[in-house]
Every structure is written in C-alpha cells, then in structure tokens.
Amino acid sequence: MKSTNQINSHIYGIGRKKESTAIVYLVPFSESTSQIKCEVNGHKAEQYFQQNFTYLHQISLPLIKVKLENKYKIIANVKGGGLTGQADSIKLGIAKALCKVDKLKFRPTLKFEGFLKRDARVKERRKYGLKKARKASQYSKR
C-alpha cells in the first residue's frame, strides 16, 4: 500500500451497506506504479473476493458506465459485513468519488443507474422477552 500522504492527495469516497464500510481511493494510472487495477485491504481484488466475478464486475460498474475503467486504480479499505455488503459499499464509494471528479458530467448518469443510493437496511435489534428480534417462544395455553 502507498504512503498516506500520497493517498490523501487523491479522490476518495465512503460507501456503506449493511454492516460494511468502505473507504475508496481513486488513483490516476499515470501516478500509480503497479499494474493492479483494484486493490482491497492490501490484496488483489480477485484474491480478496475469491475469484467471484459477480463481485468484481459489480465493483467496476460505476467506472464502466462513465467510460473511465482504464483511467483509475481503485484502492479500497473495507471492514465489517460479508463479501456482498463489502462489494456494494465499494461500488457506492467509487460512485461518490467519481462525483467529486466531475459532478456535472458524471452525477446524472450515476444517479440514473442507481449507484448513488445508500441501502440503509441493517439487522433489527433483539428485544427483551424474545429469542430474536421478533421470534417469541411458543404460546402454551395450559
């Protein structure tokens, strides 16, 4: 991973989905020295997402829609949740970072495709007297 001074000078976006949070940095390819297109928590994206091309394609969708897939390297720091939530949070982070690049040009396209929507569904908390959030013990009449 690059030094923090170099990363802080680039465009970033924060994405969240379920329990996962992703901080995504977009680094122009001219400034990056490695040939890796996407890096997640210090690993190649293919290695991190276990060669699941659904997740890999989902991450790159915002860049494909605005035709910038070969212009930026993606560096993502993700924590919490599962792989599906992490992939969605990275996608949202990339879309927000692209809006910082050129808001007037990219935002309408990304908004129309639904990449800027935050999915706020989270697990419901457990209530006292119940086994789970809504599951109660079986009612006994006698």
Give the Å distances, CA to CA, from 46 to 38, 53, 57, 133, 140: 8, 8, 11, 36, 53
How many helices, marked H, and strands, marked E, lie in the chain?
5, 5
Per-residue pLDDT, 34: 65
Q: Which residues, in sequence order, are CB contacts of 54 under 8 Å at separation 6+?
A: none
| Structural contact between residues 1 and 36, judged by C-beta atoms closer than 8 angstroms | no
Query: With a cut of 70, which residues of the chain have pLDDT below it?
Result: 1-9, 31-34
Question: Domains in the chain, please, with CATH?
Answer: 4-113 (3.30.230.10)
Encoding tokens for residue 4? Answer: 């923090």
For residue 100, give the DSSP letter: H
Q: Do 73 and 37 form a contact (C-beta atoms < 8 A)?
A: yes
C-alpha–C-alpha distance, residues 120 and 71, integer Å: 30
The pLDDT value recorded for residue 10 is 83
Q: Is-above-0.95 flag for pTM?
A: no
Q: How many CA atoms lie within 13 A of 24 on its CB side?
A: 33
Digit-coded pLDDT (tens) for 93-127: 999 999 998 888 889 999 999 999 888 888 899 99
